[in-house]
């Protein structure tokens, strides 16, 4: 068997990876509570430049931690986010909910000619109130959530917004920041077209679920 020289110890790999992530990015412009989340995003993506595009309103980390400690659910737009959240680290066996694959959601979306992500957000019902909402894929999910927040007066505890793509992703995150400033929501978003389920779950798996990684 041909042998290659590479680091094999899991603990050493983890430690060195975080050390290099810290060296690669400047967190000085961020509030202290966002440092570990930003570091986790860099660690998960190997893209230090993401730090410069993080935007927030209020104290999304503190708000999410309080909500989770009190037993609030985590609402996800897609299963790729939900399955990556490390449930064993959540402080109160918090339910992680995602309805994107529900047959009723697909039927409703087809009937109304809307995205399944929009129909899934509607299926959250009143559970949006006081929840931690994590959007890691669909801009339409974030737009529909904002419509419900404004139209129904719902107030999530914290929103983590990482929708990705060339149609609506950047716009949905700017809309979130606008609404957050208008009515006082605690939110964290990655500006621009970048995002994705891995980054959204990484944010939860940092301070939100307790611990660095």
Residue 148 CA to residue 3 CA, distance in Å, equals: 57
Beta bridge partners of 132: 74, 158
* Per-residue tokens: 151: 């139209």
Distance CA 128, CA 72 (A): 10
Query: What Cα–Cα distance (Å) separates residue 74 from each residue in 6, 22, 90, 111, 209?
Result: 38, 28, 10, 27, 11
Residue tagged 């990655």 (tokens): 190
| Dihedral Cα 78, 70, 67, 44, nearest 10 deg | -60
Phi and psi, residue 159, nearest 5°: -125, 125
Task: Name the DSSP class of 30.
Answer: S
CA distance 186 to 161: 11
Question: What is the pairing mode between strands 54-57 and 74-76?
Answer: unpaired
Active-site residue flag, 43:
yes
Q: Catalytic one among 35, 43, 57, 99?
A: 43
d(CA 154, CA 172): 18
Residues with catalytic function:
43
């Amino acid at each position: 068997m041909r042998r290659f020289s590479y680091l094999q110890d899991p603990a050493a790999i983890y430690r060195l990876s975080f050390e290099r992530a810290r060296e690669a990015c400047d967190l000085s412009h961020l509030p202290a509570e966002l440092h570990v989340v930003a570091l986790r995003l860099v660690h998960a993506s190997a893209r230090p430049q993401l730090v410069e595009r993080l935007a927030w309103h209020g104290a999304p980390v503190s708000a999410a931690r309080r909500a989770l400690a009190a037993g609030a659910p985590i609402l996800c737009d897609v299963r790729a986010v939900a399955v990556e959240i490390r449930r064993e680290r959540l402080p109160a066996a918090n339910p992680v909910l995602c309805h994107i694959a529900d047959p009723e959601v697909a039927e409703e979306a087809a009937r109304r000619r809307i995205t399944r992500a929009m129909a899934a957000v509607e299926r959250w019902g009143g559970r949006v109130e006081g929840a931690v909402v994590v959007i890691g894929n669909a801009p339409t999910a974030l737009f529909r959530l904002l419509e419900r927040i404004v139209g129904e007066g719902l107030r999530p505890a914290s929103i983590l917004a990482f929708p990705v793509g060339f149609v609506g992703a950047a716009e949905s995150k700017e809309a979130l920041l606008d609404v957050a400033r208008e009515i006082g929501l605690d939110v964290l978003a990655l500006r621009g077209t970048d995002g994705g389920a891995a980054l959204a779950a990484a944010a939860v798996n940092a301070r939100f679920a307790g611990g660095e990684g």
